[in-house]
Amino acid sequence: MVGEVDVMASTIELHFVWNSGHIEGEAQSGGKVIPNENRPTFAYVLPPGTRVGFRLKEVHEIRQLSVELQPDFVLGAAGFEPSVRFDVIETWDYRDPLSWQLARVI
């Protein structure tokens, strides 16, 4: 799995990656370059409308879980009315322990 791809998140996206091999590449978002540090696990969050360019030079033995959530679902799960407004912050070092535990179960 190598190459380049540009994507735009249409929902709230959570991506969990387990790396038992090797990853070499980077992501580019909002004028920032996010290098891959070849960590054994990492996760990131993309708000709706986020454009990201992924450039992968080498990828071996990874597993990834990607979860897409509609903002209305998140509001309902949190017990808020649909009229409530909230922002999702683009995060490239997402470490919430409960989210990781749920991702492992899935």
Apex CA 28: angle with CA 27 and CA 32, to 5°? Answer: 125
Residuewise pLDDT in 10s, the chain (106 residues) = 689 999 999 999 999 999 999 999 999 999 999 998 889 999 999 999 999 999 999 888 999 999 999 999 999 999 998 889 999 999 999 999 999 999 999 9
Residue-level pLDDT at 47? 97
| Domains of the chain from N-terminus onward | 3-91 (2.60.120.10)
pTM: 0.89
Give the tokens for residue 21.
């091999």
The single residue listed with the structure tokens 């991702």 is 103
| Contact predicate 80/35, CB 8 Å | no
Residue-level pLDDT at 1? 63
For residue 48, the 8-state DSSP code is T
Residue-level pLDDT at 76? 93
Distance (Å, rounded) from C-alpha 63 to C-alpha 77? 27
| Contact predicate 58/3, CB 8 Å | no
Q: Which helix (H) or strand (E) holds 93?
A: none
Other C-beta atoms lying within 10 Å of the C-beta of residue 72: 10
